């Protein structure tokens, strides 16, 4: 067990690596070469990556794939996806092609409001606090003028500030609940800067004009954005669902709808159902330099908004029309953050024809819907493992360091055989013996 280290952040990159090697690795040279192997040969680019976070020692790569043939609101897109999981890009591409021949995806942004809060405690009379808030509210806004000037010039800014009484849930607890429009920026830094100024002004004014002790606890944006919503859908006549692997479209539509209905009422299924949606969403969010952790947190909170965790997608069959849709909160940006720094983020956004934040919301929602359609289509027809394991086959072969000749023979073998991990191991052993 290594000793605790002081001043680690002040060490050079090489010194940090050597400390790690000395503390944790028996084969230091192999570990050292592995770390260096993932450095970028372009020193300027490597320095850029080193400065994204603290204590960097190397780069951690994910594959960047593309899913073509996404027809969204009659515009054709090829969608970038950064993800390591087998079959996700393939499933998205297959779903895109399926719906391309049936009119494509329709998407619309419903609203773009984002939220931030100043959390504080107050031990005095609420009516006096409320009266004080109404008086000081204009000053809260005016004191942020230096922060909001550029955002307001572009059409965004602070939409409203409310005083919320939460003292019945937690003694003496209140909020300044603020709503914002941040346009093409995700807006985290903008929102947090405004909130901290609200807190400073509120605290200062309270000292002079309010009886009782008022204490600011924290000021922070919320990643729950139920009013930053986008909707995406597909629809067609039931007969038009017929394809190579859907020979009975009426039966398929009914089973598909039943699968969605199960996810709507059964949380154990809903979690896996929504995870599949997030396979598509996270991959595009990551490829475009947005915060997939924030998106995940907000999306899953939204899935629980009615008191029970439920499906994010829905399905209907009315008048012989099959409809499948998603309504989801997505706070995304196409300016600021990594969007102007990471070369592959810029590459991905250019591939998407430099979308606005609203455009990107629609594209990401469609990716999630497509992924879910592909998963449910497999589950209700051939089963999920057939396609997934065929995509996973190469990962298993690489684990056993199969040669090119071995890969070709085994891939050919599994064109007509079911892929399972044990079956692949057996095939490798038979081939090598």
In order of 105, 127, 167, 217, the CA distances from 164 in angstroms are: 40, 12, 9, 15
> Of 49, 77, 119, 388, which one is the catalytic site residue?
388
Q: Do 259 and 67 contact (CB within 8 A), yes or no? A: no
CB 249 within 8 A of CB 379: no
Catalytic choice (137, 152, 255, 275): 275
Give CA–CA dist 141/154, Å, rounded: 17
Q: Which residues contact 79 (CB under 8 A, 6 or more apart)?
A: 66, 67, 68, 70, 92, 96, 284, 352, 363, 367
Q: Is 275 a catalytic residue?
A: yes
Quote the distance between the C-alpha of residue 28 and its chain's center: 36
Catalytic residue among 291, 358, 359, 392: 291
Please give the DSSP secondary-structure letter assigned to residue 363.
Answer: H
Q: What is the DSSP string of 36-80?
A: HHTS-SSHHHHHHHHTTSSS--S-----EEEEEEEEETTEEEEEE
Specify whether 50 is catalytic: no
Edge-to-edge strand ranges of the sheet holding 114-122? 157-165, 173-181, 114-122, 214-221
Distance CA 215, CA 198 (A): 13
Dihedral sign for Cα 414, 417, 419, 423, please.
Answer: negative
Whether 177 sits among the annotated catalytic residues: the reply is no
Q: Is 406 one of the annotated active-site residues of the chain?
A: no
DSSP SS3 for 317? strand
> Helix 88-100 and helix 357-379: axis angle, to 10°?
100
- Catalytic residue, chosen from 18, 50, 85, 250, is 85
Residues with catalytic roles: 85, 275, 291, 388
């Amino acid at each position: 067990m290594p000793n605790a280290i002081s001043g680690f952040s002040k060490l050079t990159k090489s010194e940090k690596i050597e400390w790690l090697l000395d503390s944790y690795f028996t084969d230091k040279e192999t570990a050292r070469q592995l770390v260096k192997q993932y450095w970028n040969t372009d020193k300027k680019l490597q320095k850029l990556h080193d400065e994204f976070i603290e204590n960097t020692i190397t780069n951690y790569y994910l594959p960047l794939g593309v899913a073509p043939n996404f027809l969204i609101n009659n515009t054709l897109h090829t969608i970038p996806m950064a993800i390591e999981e087998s079959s996700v890009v393939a499933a998205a591409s297959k779903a895109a092609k399926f719906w391309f021949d049936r009119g494509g995806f329709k998407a619309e942004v419903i609203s773009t409001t984002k939220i931030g809060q100043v959390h504080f405690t107050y031990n005095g009379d609420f009516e006096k606090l409320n009266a004080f808030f109404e008086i000081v509210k204009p000053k809260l806004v005016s004191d942020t003028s230096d922060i909001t000037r550029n955002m307001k010039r572009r059409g965004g800014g602070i939409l409203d500030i409310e005083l919320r009484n939460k003292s019945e849930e937690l003694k003496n607890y209140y909020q300044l609940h603020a709503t914002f429009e941040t346009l093409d920026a995700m807006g985290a830094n903008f929102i947090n800067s405004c909130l901290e100024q609200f807190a400073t002004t509120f605290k200062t004014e309270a000292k002079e004009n309010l009886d009782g002790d008022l204490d600011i606890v924290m000021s922070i944006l919320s990643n729950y954005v139920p009013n930053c919503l986008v909707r995406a859908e597909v629809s067609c006549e039931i007969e038009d669902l017929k394809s190579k692997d859907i020979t009975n479209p009426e039966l398929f539509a009914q089973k598909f709808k039943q699968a969605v209905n199960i996810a709507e009422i059964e949380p154990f299924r809903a979690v896996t159902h929504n995870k599949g949606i997030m396979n598509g969403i996270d991959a595009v969010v990551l490829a475009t330099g947005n915060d997939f952790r924030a998106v995940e947190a907000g999306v899953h909170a939204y899935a629980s908004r009615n008191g029970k965790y439920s499906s994010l997608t829905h399905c209907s069959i009315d008048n012989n029309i099959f409809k499948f849709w998603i309504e989801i909160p997505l706070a995304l940006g196409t300016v600021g953050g990594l969007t102007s720094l990471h070369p592959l983020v810029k590459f991905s956004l250019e591939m998407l024809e430099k979308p606005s934040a609203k455009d990107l919301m629609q594209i990401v929602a469609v990716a999630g819907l497509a992924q879910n359609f592909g998963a449910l289509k497999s589950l209700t027809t051939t089963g999920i493992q057939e396609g997934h394991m065929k995509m996973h086959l190469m990962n298993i072969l690489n684990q056993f360091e199969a040669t090119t000749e071995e890969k070709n023979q085994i891939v050919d073998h599994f064109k007509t055989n079911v892929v399972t991990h044990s079956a692949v191991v057996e095939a490798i052993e038979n081939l090598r013996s």
